Each structure stands twice: as structure tokens, then as C-alpha cells.
Structure 1
Amino acid sequence: MAESLRSFFDELEAPDRHLVLLNRSSPDPVRNLFDSLLDGQPVSISEADTDEVADDDVIALVEDGEVIARSPLDEPLESVLLINSDLYKTGGIDLDEVALPAVFEGLDEVPFRIRGYPASNKENLLLIIISRVIERIAAEHARGTLRASFQRLSRIDDERGTRSVYERVAGTGVDVHVYGVGDVESLSGLPVTVHSGTSYPYRRSWFVVFTPPEGGDGDHVALLALEDEPNVWDGFWTFRPKLVTRIEQYIAEEV
């Protein structure tokens, strides 16, 4: 058994990956959006012109000199960089529409250090979108277990889009557990299991973890972030089944 949620960071494979903008024809402000998203992160971004890619404005994810994923530049722009995070809180983006470009999905197990608003308008957006992607995956499976923390349970009611998502996911048959500080009774109308406490994991963790039924096939995916400084988060996401399962088991037994 892991000693703490923080100990899972020690198990990361932490691959050395970087992004490359290929044949960029888009204006400099587009490049600046990527720079602002990745500023201070262990993922660099560079540019190259190449005849190996027929189209302009392609972004590639590279590991050990090999391209492991690529996306048209429009995909990260439309799904991440040009999105206002309030759209997720208000329900302006339907759960079925939430998508993560392959080049960002491929940053799994890369440890990020994220500043929230107002220090940064963009850095925590990746974690918000990853959270929604996991919730969408859970809804699509319509079975399995989803565990999510909110720091303040009241956020579920305060954010109309968030409550709608959890009503939908729980309504599919997924066993949904939510964690946070606050009034359990305020969520009595939501078909989820509510866990309330005041210890560190309840106050300072941000996790969204989905596991399919034991013995069943399906996606395993987890986001785990910890706030060790005010409004500053260390976080990662992973699709590794054994690691996701161990995170889920730790939360179920220790939180």
C-alpha cells in the first residue's frame, strides 16, 4: 500500500517528451498560446520545417527522436488553448464534446506544476479538461467506479455544469464517489456516495479516477494533483492500468 497520495508521484515514468510545431504558418500569437500553457513545465516546444509532413500547422509529440503522436494545430487550439474554463463550470460544453488532442493525451505521466487563476489563465485548463475526459469515459462505459475530489463539496452545486455531469455519469450505472469538505446533506439529491472530511486529501487534493469493473476490459485513467502551496498544484494523469488501480484502491481504503 502506498504511504500517501504524494508517494504516487515517485512511481511516474516521467518520459522525456517535447512538442514540435511543424511547418507553422499561423501567426505568432498562436505560438505564444503554447508558450503560456507550457511555461515552466518539463515539456518544451520548438518549431521545424519539414517535407515529411504534407500539411502546414501540425503539432507533433516527440520522444527519443520518434514522433509518437501528432495533431492538426486546430485541435489543441479549439479544444484547449482558445477555451475559457468557465464553459466547463457552466455546462457550456457538453460532456460528449469534450476531447483531448492526441499530442496532449500523450503527455501522460509527465509531472506538471500548475498555477491557478489569477496567477495563470491557462495552466490549470489542461487538468480541467483531463477531468472532463475521465468523466466522459466513465459515462461511455456506464459501469465501473469513478472517484473525484472537489476540495469544497459546495462546488458541485455552485458549478451547474459540474452537477449536470455527475448526474449524468451516476445515472448511467457508474458507482460514483465524491470527496470534499462541507455539508453532505446538500448533495442528498445526487445519486452518488459522498465522503466528507477535513484531512489533507479532502482539503488539498484534486483527483478524478475511473476504473472499469474488476476483471472487465476497459479504460483505466486517473488524474491526481496536490496543492502544496496556495493555488499551486503538482499534477499528472496516467492510463497505466496497474497504477490507476492502485490509486483507486488507496483512495477507497485510506481517504
Structure 2
Amino acid sequence: MSLTELIAGVESHEKTLTVFNADEETVAAVRERFHDRNLTVEHERTESGRPGGFAVLSKDTPEADDQFVTAASIDDILSQADPNDPEFEEGSYRPILDHLDETMFTSYDTGQMVAASREIEDRAWRLGKGQLHAGFQMLSILDDQMDVYKRLAEKERLDVHAYAYPDAEVPRHDTDLTIHVERSSEIETSWFVVYDGGGVDVNKCALLAEEREPRTFYGFWTYDPDTVDWIIDYLNTSYGLVESY
């Protein structure tokens, strides 16, 4: 299985978000909030009308239809996240990655992808250990992000790997950053940031997407340890050409 096939597998499993006991304006706001996700939003009312303003996420599985995934208040769901610069400081981030784990997003632009990537990079920075793997598509794009990744690579117990197609010279640096130069169409079209949580399952996370239209990305994020481990194992075994400076 490839990265592209993994994305396709997630895409084929649509989830349902059922909004309970909310007015039509609120339901419309929830639909707008997730307009770029592979997600069906439905509206229902309980007989008592209580509790008010909550939503339940479910998915179909081979074992059962509408299997419960998680529940959340409408206020939490509608809270918006803003992109932030990579300051790696306490309180400098508002999360963009939500609890809709492994739900396909369908049309993220570069700004949204950067914001989501920063959240995973920030987690790796704060924990300061383990493996962080990031795919930049092109060496020229990696070059623009070298300040961020040199800072990450300065963490002594954090093993940082960058992957890119060779459209430019390999960026030079004096850190332990490992750059994998790959003439692969998969690397050329894939944007990913994967962190192994320093070996702790609860800290593992990944963002994986592919560019299907110019600078428009389709993919998912996940906190599932098995999925994160699979992606890292795949990268470690599939891509070995290294240029280090």
C-alpha cells in the first residue's frame, strides 16, 4: 500500500455528524464549518429536547452501521482556529486539527495545510524527542521552511527527516536534519508531517495529503498510533536516498 492508497482508503469511509437540539441557523453554521470535509451533517431532536446543542460523530464499519466515534458541544465545534507563525512558544497556537480523526478534508489551500502542519511540528518541539518526518514535495519548498526545520533539528533527542523531489539544490545546513532527495511522483505530490510521539502512543499524530489540483490538497489527519506507525515504517523502508549537510 502507498501513501496515495492510504488516502483513498480513508476517503472511502464517510462519517456522519448528527447535530441534536439546535436551531436551523446553528445547523447551517455547522455545515459551513465542515463544507470542505468528507462528512455528512444531519439534524435531529430528542423527545425531551435535551441536552441542548451537541453533536455525535459516527461512521459505518463492517461490524455495524453508525458506530459511535465521539461527541462534542456545538460551541466547541464552531470555535475557529487561526493559522499561526511557528514561534514554538507557550500559547502561540490555537488548534486546527480537531477530534474528527481520519475524516477526509477535500479542498485545503496552502495556508490551511501550513496551519495544520505547525500544530504537529509544535508538538514535536515541545516533547523534544522521537522522530518527525515531513514531506515538502519540492526542494525549493523545503528551502523556504529551513529556518523552522533547523530549529526542530537542534533538539538533541528529536530525529528530523525531510523528503522532497529535486527541483533545486539541496539546502545546506549545520544541523542533524536528514534530507531525503527522491525522484518519486508520490513525494512530488504528497504533503505530510508525521510524529511518532517519542514512542508514546497518545502523542502520535500525522497529517497526510496529496495535491490533486494546483495548490489544493486532499487528505486527512490522524491520532491513531497504528496508522502513524505504518506511515513512518513505510517512509523508512521506501525512501533511502539521503543528502545531509
Q: TM-score, normalised by structure 1?
A: 0.69
Instruction: Please give the residue correspondences for 1:60-209 in structure 2 after superposition, counting only pairs within 5 Å.
Output: 60-63=56-59, 64-65=65-66, 67-80=68-81, 83=82, 87-88=83-84, 90-91=85-86, 96=91, 97-99=93-95, 104-108=98-102, 110-116=103-109, 125=112, 127-155=113-141, 158=144, 163-164=147-148, 167-168=151-152, 170-171=154-155, 173-181=157-165, 182-186=168-172, 188-189=173-174, 191-209=176-194
Q: Distance in 1 between matches of 2:86 and 2:121?
A: 14
CA contact (8 A) 2:142 2:164 kept: no
- SS for the counterpart of 1:6 is helix
Count of aligned pairs = 230
CA contact (8 A) 2:108 2:218 kept: no
Q: Distance in 2 between matches of 1:145 and 1:204?
A: 22
CA contact (8 A) 2:153 2:176 kept: no
Q: Residue 131 of structure 1: CA displacement?
A: 2.7
- Say what the alpha-carbon RMSD is for the aligned residues: 3.7
Unaligned segments of structure 2, at least 5 residues: 60-64, 240-245
Tell me the alpha carbon deviations over residues 170-208 of structure 1, each in whole angstroms, 9 at most, x when there is no partner.
Answer: 52621111122433235x155522223443233211111
Q: Distance in 1 between matches of 2:152 and 2:94?
A: 14
Q: Which residue of 1 aligns with 2:16?
A: 18
Q: Residue 165 of structure 1: CA displacement?
A: 7.1
Q: Distance in 2 between matches of 1:229 and 1:61?
A: 29
Q: Distance in 1 between matches of 2:207 and 2:194?
A: 6
Q: Residue 151 of structure 1: CA displacement?
A: 2.2
Q: Once structures 1 and 2 are overlaid, which stretch shifts more, 245-254 or 129-138?
A: 129-138
Q: Distance in 2 between matches of 1:10 and 1:52?
A: 38
Unaligned segments of structure 1, at least 5 residues: 118-123
Q: Residue 146 of structure 1: CA displacement?
A: 0.7
Q: Which residue of 1 aligns with 2:208?
A: 224
The reply to whether residue 39 of structure 1 matches residue 35 of structure 2 is yes
Q: Residue 46 of structure 1: CA displacement?
A: 2.4
Amino acid of the residue matched to residue 95 of structure 2?
A: A
The reply to whether residue 58 of structure 1 matches residue 54 of structure 2 is yes
Q: Distance in 2 between matches of 1:147 and 1:177?
A: 5
